[in-house]
Structure 1
Amino acid sequence: MPVASGPSRSVPHRGRLAGVITMTGSGLSNQVGAAIGSLAFPVLGPVGVVAVRQYVAAIVLLTVGRPRLRDFTWAQWRPVLGLAVVFGTMNLSLYTAIDRIGLGLAVTLEFLGPLTIALAAARRRVDAFCAVIAAAGVVTLMRPQPSTDYVGMGLGLLAACCWASYILLNRSVGRRIPGVQGSATAAAISALTFLPVGIVLALHQPPTAAAIGYAVAAGVLSSAVPYLADLFTLRHVPAQAFALFMSINPLLAALVGWIGLNQNLGWTEWASIGAIVAANTLSILARRA
């Protein structure tokens, strides 16, 4: 009995360990990709970087999803078109916010989208408490100061709204279209809308090889790697554990911005990020219990 039970326990354990390692790599890849993409802002601007990122995401998702467009019905096309709009708007607002207020604060504000979805679906006292903690963190981040960039803050909140919409639309697409055909189609449509933008930018100001390399790296590290890593992770790690780990993305973004981009944050910003991360962590742990 002990000999027979050993392998059956070790295999899931190794799978979970691999999933945790993959989640860590995915989170770091996402934030490092955003940081590298910001290096191309002086040449391409946020719009140009997002355009290249959309092209990379479309190529990866189309390769994996291989959608059969002729089989789509209008009921399937509607959420796909909505998802395409959200794809572009979410990335554009996030990268513009990163350009104005830094990586850590932009990702923290964007994270309010999935956090709001999670708290709105709950009816427990602990979730109300978590909502208060998260709200306190947001108020602290957006407190009036002479140097406060309200446009950048607003773009971060727009990215949060887009991420919440992305979750809801992706759920609808997943129910109506098998596999990742819907997401692949939405990514392709979003990339097509950014194609004129890329052409205009290239004609107006020919990009440097370094800027193109930064933007492509952002697309690979922030789109292709996280997507493929998530596919692997969700096979070995429970959805709640996956959601719990996602809550540290604002912290990872702040660390990457601090170390890689020299974007220093004050103790109040760190406290606000910690409050928002703690609110999501507490909510998920309570739900799991």
Structure 2
Amino acid sequence: MYLGAAAAVWLFGTLSPAAVAWLRQLGAAVVLLAWRRPGRAAWHGRIFWLAALFGMVTAVMNLAFYESIDRLPLGTAVALEFVGPVLIASFGSRSVRDVGALLLVVSGVVLIADVRWAGSTLGVLFALSAAVLWAGYIVLGRKVARGGQGVDGLAVGFAVAAVVLSPLALGTGPVWTSPRLLVLGLGVGVLATVVPYVLDQVVLRRMGQSRFALLLALLPVTATAIGLAVLHQVPTPLEALGILAVVVGLTIRTRDGESGPEPL
């Protein structure tokens, strides 16, 4: 996912974040439709509308995330995004351990936001918007997975989102005259959407959304490592402390209360 995000940052020098986000959506939709070829049932009724809503929430989440990483280091943006998963992971929690975990995550987010607010208020707001949409992605993604649609639902939802957001394609002009940019843009869709989101569907069919949110705890570390190695983005000491607090908070939360698949 974050190798794809790093590739997207490279594209920001030529294209706007919104244009890159649409190319990502288009690439994912084309690959998934060619692979899965959803039947007629996937394009009608409640199944279709759930997939379409999931696709739109995911696409706008990615758009907000790209706008944030255009203004913030990758690891910082991802840590701020974790407001969404921590809300899901902490939903219904009342134990002292869970309250402590929530406070750690909130403290980490505050540390990061305090560092970045003066430098890029808009970047912080985009990252927090992506966080809210990420919570929606987890809830809706689980419904798609448990409803038997799985990857077919991804294909339908991402195709709908690519069509609805097609006005963003107006910013992709340079891509259509550069095979390198086109391959890189569509490749972001495969790296950052097809592979990780298909794996998410596999995982979400086997566990609840709170436990799934816990499994995301190492993503800020991954993003920071990719940002450092590929984009040469070195976090400040306070940012590093904030990222560590987010990871520890999500990791220490109790794992009780979800024993297996639940019906939709």
Q: CA deviation at 1:38?
A: 0.8
Alignment of 1:31-180 (within 5 A): 31-70=2-41, 73-143=44-114, 147-180=118-151
2:217 corresponding residue in structure 1: 247
The superposition leaves residues 60-92 of structure 1 with CA deviations (integer Å, 9 ceiling, x where unpaired) of 332444323456554334323321221221010
Would the alpha carbon gap of residues 209 and 231 (structure 1) be closer, same or farther in structure 2, given more than 3 Å must change?
same
* Residue type at the aligned position of 1:82: L
* Residue type at the aligned position of 2:20: V
Would the alpha carbon gap of residues 178 and 234 (structure 1) be closer, same or farther in structure 2, given more than 3 Å must change?
closer
Mapped contact 1:43–1:207 kept (Cα < 8 A)? no
Would the alpha carbon gap of residues 183 and 197 (structure 1) be closer, same or farther in structure 2, given more than 3 Å must change?
same
Mind listing any 5+ residue stretches in structure 1 that lack a counterpart?
Answer: 1-29
Mapped contact 1:113–1:162 kept (Cα < 8 A)? yes
Would the alpha carbon gap of residues 226 and 40 (structure 1) be closer, same or farther in structure 2, given more than 3 Å must change?
same
TM-score when scaled to structure 2?
Answer: 0.84
Q: Which moved more, 1:247-256 or 1:169-178?
A: 169-178
Mapped contact 1:65–1:179 kept (Cα < 8 A)? no
Would the alpha carbon gap of residues 215 and 259 (structure 1) be closer, same or farther in structure 2, given more than 3 Å must change?
same
2:233 corresponding residue in structure 1: 263
Aligned-pair identity in percent equals 32
**Does 2:160 correspond to 1:186?**
no
What is the Cα-based RMSD across aligned positions, in Å? 2.9
**Which one of 211, 223, 226 corresponds to residue 181 of structure 2?**
211
Q: Which moved more, 1:174-183 or 1:85-94?
A: 174-183
Q: CA deviation at 1:41?
A: 0.6
* Residue type at the aligned position of 2:153: G
Mind listing any 5+ residue stretches in structure 2 that lack a counterpart?
Answer: 259-264
Mapped contact 1:133–1:279 kept (Cα < 8 A)? yes
**Does 2:203 correspond to 1:226?**
no
Mapped contact 1:44–1:211 kept (Cα < 8 A)? no
1:273 corresponding residue in structure 2: 243
Q: CA deviation at 1:144?
A: 6.3
* Residue type at the aligned position of 1:44: L
TM-score when scaled to structure 1?
Answer: 0.78
Distance 2:142 2:24 in 1: 23
Report the number of matched residues. Answer: 258
* Residue type at the aligned position of 2:95: R
